[in-house]
Amino acid sequence: MPPFWNGDHRPTPPTRQFRDRWIERRKMHLDNAPSDKNNDIDFGPLADLVGTWKGDKGIDIAPEPDGTEENHYYETITVEAVGDVTNAENQTLAVVRYLQTVNRKSDDKSIHDETGYWMWDAKSQSLMHSLIIPRGVCVLAEGEAAQINGTVELKASAKLDAPNWGIIQSPFMQEKASTTEYRRTIALNGDTLKYSQTMMLEIYGRTFEHTDENELTRV
């Protein structure tokens, strides 16, 4: 399925205007890239991600043994351009790396720490997303990119035991808090980033939809 869509949700290639916008954003926001060589790399929709983002409107709906816990949080997401990598002399990926740190508002306690990558294949117009959290959980997700009414939208999804885009967990997590599905949507419009995330869990003897959402500003 082609990753680009117009407002009617029909598959279309990226327009010249959309590509020019990416080039402009890349020139503006790749200042923290480790090398000037990144200026020649086509980061596609990932160019809009680069920068430091902060937001304090986060809502986390998490499982408890006897019900549900709602946490309000603030966070920082730092995204840097890594450069490009070549696989088997035949695939070139433009790569950005991010670090996400999340703190609960009520007591400033760290409740989430995550690092990962977004990867763009300009030749095939395809997107990938990988992440790891220090609970013994790793995800490699299939991505999609779209432009809808001036907003760049990135989506990623993976499922446990899927043949291509899956989830790997430690034996403890598999037994006690297994993640069976992962979904994330990011909407970028100028210096505003909104995201929503869902992780389906098998925990405390039941299926639980663990969700997070926030709105951040580039600083």
At residue 36, the pLDDT reads 57
At residue 39, the pLDDT reads 72
For the entire predicted model, the pTM comes to: 0.84
| Nearest partner of 180 among 156, 209, 213, judged by Cα | 209
Q: Number of helices (H) and strands (E), helices first, in the chain?
A: 2, 11
At residue 17, the pLDDT reads 52
| Three-state secondary structure of 104-171 | ECCCCCEEEEEEEEEEEECCCCEEEEEEEECCCEEEEEEEEEEEECCEEEEEEEEECCCCCCCEEECH
At residue 6, the pLDDT reads 37
Average pLDDT, the chain: 88
pLDDT in tens, 164-202: 999 999 999 999 999 999 999 999 999 999 999 999 999
At residue 34, the pLDDT reads 45
List the domain boundaries for the chain.
16-218
DSSP bridge pairs for 86: 92
The fold adopted by the segment(s) 16-218 is Lipocalin (2.40.128)
Which of the residues in the chain have pLDDT under 70? 1-37
Torsion of CA 10, 188, 82, 97, to 10 degrees: -100
